[in-house]
Amino acid sequence: MHLRDAMTTYGESCLRLAYLYTKDWNAAEEIVQDVFLAYANQYDVFRGESSIKTYLLKITANKSKDYLRKKKRWPWLPFGELPEKSTASAERLVEREEEQTQLLEALHRIPLNYREVLILYYYEELNTREIAEWLQCSKNTVKTRLIRGRNHLKAQLKAQDWEVFMHEQF
């Protein structure tokens, strides 16, 4: 698939996934830029074992984790404090702040290994086998992380917010 087509089709998904990992739109944009740069450079070696969407999302997840690791390692560096590069207007930023509600905040307070599984399972709608392959761990580990992730989420959310998700099954 041509780079421009890949960006048009999957750019939004990659950006949102990067944001769910990093909670920073600037960082997410940088990551997505890196993802498509990597795609452009490495498309020749893409083995076609998975779909392009999965391939791009995997790169996004890995680069997001690299970013978080780097941020953790060098906390004094100004990660996340860069000015907005997007063309969003000031009103848009205010609107975005207002839109931020409980679930996103709660999700970002959960440890990464649980948050990651919740994102992949509920947001990317992968099944436990696919997540296990993705993360190179066992299916049972994924299930355990899902249960613990849900418990973390429950502890973070107010009762009325949790009720909305309590019937989500896996």
Partner 1 sequence: MNNFKQQLDREMGLDKRFQPAMEQRIMQHITEPQTTKIAWPVIFTSIAATALTILFSLLLMFPETKQSTATPPLAIPIESMHVNANPDEKFYVSTSPFSLGTPLVLNDDKLKYMQILLSNAQPADTSIGDEYIDFPYADVIVKYDTGKERALRIYAFDEQHYALYDVTTHETFKGKLPKNTHNLAQMVPSFSWTFVVKIIIILIIAELLLTFVTRKIFAVPKRKERYVASKQGIIIFFISFSTMFYLGFSASQNALVLLVAISLSTLVNTYFEYRYAPEDRQYIEGIVSTIVAVMIAAILFIWYIMQ
**Residues lying near partner 1 in the complex (CB under 8 A):** 3-4, 7-8, 11-12, 14-16, 19-20, 25, 29, 32-33, 36-37, 40, 62, 65, 69, 86-87, 96, 99-101, 103-104, 107, 118, 122-123, 125, 136-137, 164-165, 168
Phi-psi region of 111 (alpha: psi -120 to 50; beta: other; left: phi over 0): beta
Closer CB to partner 1, 100 or 151, in the complex? 100
Closer CB to partner 1, 74 or 165, in the complex? 165
Closer CB to partner 1, 64 or 79, in the complex? 64
Q: How far is the CB of 131 from partner 1 (least distance, A)?
A: 13
Q: How far is the CB of 16 from partner 1 (least distance, A)?
A: 6
Q: How far is the CB of 24 from partner 1 (least distance, A)?
A: 12
Q: 103: closest CA among 119, 126, 127?
A: 119
Closer CB to partner 1, 87 or 90, in the complex? 87
Q: Are 63 and 34 in contact (CB under 8 A)?
A: yes
Q: Are 22 and 28 in contact (CB under 8 A)?
A: yes
Closer CB to partner 1, 40 or 77, in the complex? 40
Q: How far is the CB of 3 from partner 1 (least distance, A)?
A: 7
Q: How far is the CB of 74 from partner 1 (least distance, A)?
A: 15
